[in-house]
Amino acid sequence: MAQIDYFFTVISPWVYLAGDRLERIAARHGATIRYIPLDGPALFPRTGGQVLADRHQSRKDYRLQELARWSRKLGMKLDLHPFFFPVNPAPASYAVIAAQAAGGGNLPGLVQAFPRAVWAEGRNIAEDDVVKQILAENGFDPAIADRGMFAAADTYVRNLDEAVSRGVFGLPFYITGGEMFWGQDRLDMLDDHLAGA
């Protein structure tokens, strides 16, 4: 059985636009998914990239055009200038890590809910109450955000180190076997790969 290691940050619009396509691909091919949330802004300078604020204006402008195009193509609501962005991704990432360890809820739904909250619902995922609401909405005990915080914080740091060591340089990023796929626009290629194409 194939495993897909899914590296992502909860604040990425591209992670939001990926929606549930990864999960549908995995289901088609009997693959499992390992969810690996990490600090995206910390990843870029460690791998030769730049955080959004430091990029040239032409890159920022093009990013907005691409986001609008993909939003239309996928039929997904997206606020190009969300009120709560940028925002600290750590609290929501800790919640995902704690939920994955605890089990019992809808983990894919939780992973999709945090970026959707930023890019389509106008919610501040750095706020404790919002994190707990989203945990509950996806079938998890909201208290795991408190109970698992210290262990999750340690995992969060290790996730970033793992990403760098495995050649991850952008998000979302998918690795299965020796094959690497960067971006939600490469999900069709991941699908083809798992199909043996």
For residue 153, give both structure tokens.
């914080």
- Phi, psi torsion values for 79, nearest 5 degrees: -90, 115
For residue 173, give both structure tokens.
């990023």
The whole-number pLDDT of residue 150 equals 85
- Phi, psi torsion values for 88, nearest 5 degrees: -65, 115
Is-contact 52 86, C-beta < 8 A? yes
What contacts 161, CB < 8 A, 6 or more positions away? Answer: none
Distance CA 41, CA 189 (A): 26
Residue at token pair 């060591």: 165
Can you tell me whether residue 33 is helix, strand or coil?
strand
pLDDT per residue rounded down to tens, the chain (197 residues): 899 999 999 999 999 999 999 999 999 999 999 999 999 999 999 999 999 999 999 999 999 999 999 999 999 999 999 999 999 999 999 999 999 999 999 999 999 999 999 999 999 999 999 999 999 999 999 999 888 788 999 999 999 999 999 999 999 999 999 999 999 999 999 999 999 97
- Phi, psi torsion values for 36, nearest 5 degrees: -130, 85
Can you tell me whether residue 176 is helix, strand or coil?
strand
Buried b vs exposed e over 138-152: b needs ≥16 C-beta within 10 Å? bebbbebbeebbeeb
Is-contact 98 142, C-beta < 8 A? no
For residue 188, give both structure tokens.
């069709």
Domains of the chain in start order, with CATH, are: 3-194 (3.40.30.10)
Is-contact 67 13, C-beta < 8 A? yes
The whole-number pLDDT of residue 52 equals 92
For residue 142, give both structure tokens.
């909201």
The whole-number pLDDT of residue 174 equals 98
Q: Return the amino acid letter for 83.
A: F
Q: Return the amino acid letter for 10.
A: V
